């Protein structure tokens, strides 16, 4: 079904609660594993209805943040989702303690039961008022960012549309653009500090109410970290500091020489060539058409997937002033349809949408007919491997988007991806420090950020900018507010995707077959097991980052 034809109806909470109570009661009284599994399929259907309508509301609100109807719908779901989570937790607990657990594991696997265990540790009905308050704080931050009005050269832009000017080939243009964005954040930094301070205290209180020392342990449970812990993540970050930061620094130095500046400034962040970064050729419609040609040639499965997306209007990618910033892929279960949301702005990021978000969507499409819904319930670090790896698998078609500047794009892409790994780890360590010391003042948090910049991004010089030089950069990173502790998943996935790149440089067919296998495996096993099964090294293990950097260096600096 086409997206425009998908009907939306606010869920009836009275009916939802009635159905949950009925499913819970019958599951309690089931006389066999077979009976419980039959009821479990009814739970799938109920959950699909809820998720489909809620996701439709969120997408349509994001498409136009000034739409009052869908803003009210989003506020409604912010209120009721903690209540629904409570029913889900209650139901999960019954399954977890079922006398027919062995039979259920034979049907849906062991991973879901580990996930239920984590969810039981992450939720209690008494948290609902705090979770509602937390949702409201996230929505307040989102609106502040989405509705930013930034005057620039006689026009008014939002943050997403300012990106093109911040990466202009004219250094003076980008200096003025960075200042315009900085001025906006400076005008709202106190409000963002207030929002974040309340978030940190709210989340800490939730953790304390569940008996945890701080929010970190609770956050790991909520992120579904079912096969690794904070010590393993800390060891990963340690390897990144030791081996990846020097590699990234060499790439920054290579970039500095290429763009002809004596010293890199923050206004040079994301700038790779003196004649400007390579930009996609053609209109948004032509970019989508090029994507269709690319996926038709990559594999029969990707052709079928992309045709389905196009035929059913499952892309909303044009940047508009009232549209939410950013991009994502989500899923509409009742229609077995992935959906891609983005903000095209005339930069190479437009092509990244056709590769990165389509990596997510392709994987969702591959498992859309899977009866066992839990198989599709992938954890974030696995999900990001699907997307980031697709960026590398499509390298051979970049001439369709960039013409003669294909090689420039490939250089920029690898340098950008490499620069991200230290930054993502910095975001993660920042959050660990903040939630370990929730009593910190907003100023102390900004000082922590400034110190981490020196460790992870020593090339970054904010000069005397009154916002960025005072440790404010993190305030424009939405993940810190919306999904705390998510960002490290990108880093873990990036390291795995780079391993796929090394593999495809040696044998493309082998690499693609392993990638396809990873997509199909989905959440049928734990992250550390599925990556091993497709020939990737565990990024938590000592030596992984060192070996990867050596292989990338040999190819990059040959």
207 neighbors 218 (Cβ within 8 angstroms): yes
Check if the beta carbon of residue 301 is closer than 8 Å to that of residue 326.
no
pLDDT digits (tens, 9 = 90+) for 323-351: 987 889 999 999 999 999 998 878 888 99
Q: Which domain holds residue 38?
A: 3-121
Q: Would residue 512 count as lying in a domain?
A: no
pLDDT of residue 146: 87
Is residue 357 assigned to a domain?
no
Residue 75 inside a domain? The answer is: yes
Condensed to tens digits (0 to 9), the pLDDT of residues 21-43 reads 999 999 999 999 999 999 999 99
Q: How far apart are CA 439 and CA 452, in angstroms?
A: 19
Strand partners, 318: 344
- Residue 28 in any domain: the answer is yes
- The fraction of the chain above a pLDDT of 70, given in percent, is 100
What average pLDDT does range 459-473 have in this prediction? 97
Residue 205 counted as domain residue: no
On whether residue 247 sits in a domain, the answer given is no
Pairing of strands 337-344, 315-318: parallel
Would you state the torsion angle of the CA atoms of residues 520, 524, 527, 528, taken in this order, to the nearest 10 degrees? -110
Is pLDDT above 80 for 415? Answer: yes
Mean pLDDT, residues 423-443 taken together: 98
Q: What angle do CA 77, 487, 184 make, to 5 degrees?
A: 75
- Taking the C-alpha atoms of 50, 56, 62 and 67 in order, what is their torsion angle to the nearest 10 degrees? -100
Residue-averaged pLDDT of the chain: 95
Nearest to 515 by CA among 494, 497, 491: 497
pLDDT, tens digit, 9 for 90 and up, residues 69-116: 999 999 999 899 989 989 998 999 999 999 999 999 999 999 999 999
The pLDDT of residue 505 is 95
The total number of structural domains that make up the chain: 1
Predicted pLDDT at 558: 63
In a domain, 350, yes or no: no
pLDDT recorded at residue 101: 96
Is residue 32 one of the residues assigned to a domain?
Answer: yes
Asked if residue 480 lies in contact with residue 282, where contact means CB atoms within 8 angstroms, the answer is no
pLDDT bracket for residue 458 (50, 70, 90)? very high
């Amino acid at each position: 079904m086409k997206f425009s034809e998908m009907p939306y109806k606010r869920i009836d909470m009275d009916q939802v609660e009635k159905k949950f109570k009925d499913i819970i009661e019958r599951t309690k009284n089931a006389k066999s594993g077979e009976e419980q599994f039959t009821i479990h399929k009814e739970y799938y259907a109920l959950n699909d209805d809820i998720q489909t309508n809620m996701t439709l509301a969120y997408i349509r609100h994001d498409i136009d943040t000034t739409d009052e109807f869908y803003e009210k719908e989003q506020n409604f779901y912010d209120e009721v989702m903690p209540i629904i989570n409570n029913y889900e937790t209650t139901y999960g607990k019954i399954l977890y303690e079922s006398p027919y657990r062995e039979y259920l594991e034979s049907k849906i696997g062991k991973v879901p039961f580990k996930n239920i265990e984590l969810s039981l540790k992450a939720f209690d009905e008494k948290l609902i008022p705090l979770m509602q308050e937390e949702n409201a704080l996230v929505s307040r931050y989102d609106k502040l960012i989405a509705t930013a009005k930034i005057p620039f050269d006689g026009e008014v832009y939002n943050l997403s549309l300012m990106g093109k000017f911040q990466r202009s080939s004219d250094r003076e243009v980008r200096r003025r653009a960075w200042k315009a964005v900085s001025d906006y954040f400076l005008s709202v930094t106190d409000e963002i500090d207030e929002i974040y301070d309340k978030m940190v205290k709210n989340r800490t209180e939730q953790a304390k109410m569940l008996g945890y020392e701080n929010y970190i342990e609770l956050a790991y449970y909520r992120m579904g970290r079912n096969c690794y812990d904070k010590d393993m993540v800390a060891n990963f970050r340690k390897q990144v500091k030791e081996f990846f930061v020097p590699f990234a620094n060499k790439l920054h130095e290579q970039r500095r020489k290429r763009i002809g500046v004596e010293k890199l400034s923050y206004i040079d962040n994301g700038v790779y060539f003196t004649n400007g970064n390579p930009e996609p050729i053609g209109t948004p419609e032509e970019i989508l058409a090029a994507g269709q040609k690319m996926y038709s040639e990559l594999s029969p499965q990707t052709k079928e997937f992309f045709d389905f997306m196009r035929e059913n209007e499952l892309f909303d990618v044009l940047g508009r002033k009232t549209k939410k910033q950013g991009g994502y892929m989500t899923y509409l279960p009742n229609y077995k349809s992935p959906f891609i949301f983005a903000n095209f702005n005339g930069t190479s990021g437009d092509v990244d949408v056709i590769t990165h978000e389509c990596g997510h969507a392709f994987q969702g499409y591959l498992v859309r007919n899977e009866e066992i819904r839990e198989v599709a319930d992938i954890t974030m670090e696995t999900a990001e491997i699907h997307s980031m790896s697709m960026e590398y698998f499509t390298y051979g078609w970049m001439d369709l988007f960039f013409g003669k500047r294909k090689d420039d794009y490939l250089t920029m892409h690898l340098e950008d991806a490499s620069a991200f790994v230290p930054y993502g780890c910095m975001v993660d360590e920042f959050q660990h420090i903040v939630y370990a010391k929730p009593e910190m003042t907003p100023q102390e948090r900004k000082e922590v950020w400034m110190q981490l910049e020196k460790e992870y991004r020593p090339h970054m010089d904010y000069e005397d900018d009154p916002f960025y030089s005072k440790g404010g950069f993190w305030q424009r990173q939405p993940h810190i507010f919306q999904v705390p502790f998510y960002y490290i998943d990108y880093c873990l996935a990036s390291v795995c995707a780079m391993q796929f790149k090394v593999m495809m440089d040696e044998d493309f067919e082998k690499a693609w077959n392993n990638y396809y296998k990873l997509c199909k495996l989905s959440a049928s096993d734990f992250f550390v097991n599925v990556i091993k099964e497709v020939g990737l090294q565990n990024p938590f293990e000592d030596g992984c980052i060192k070996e990867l950097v050596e292989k990338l260096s040999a190819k990059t600096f040959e």
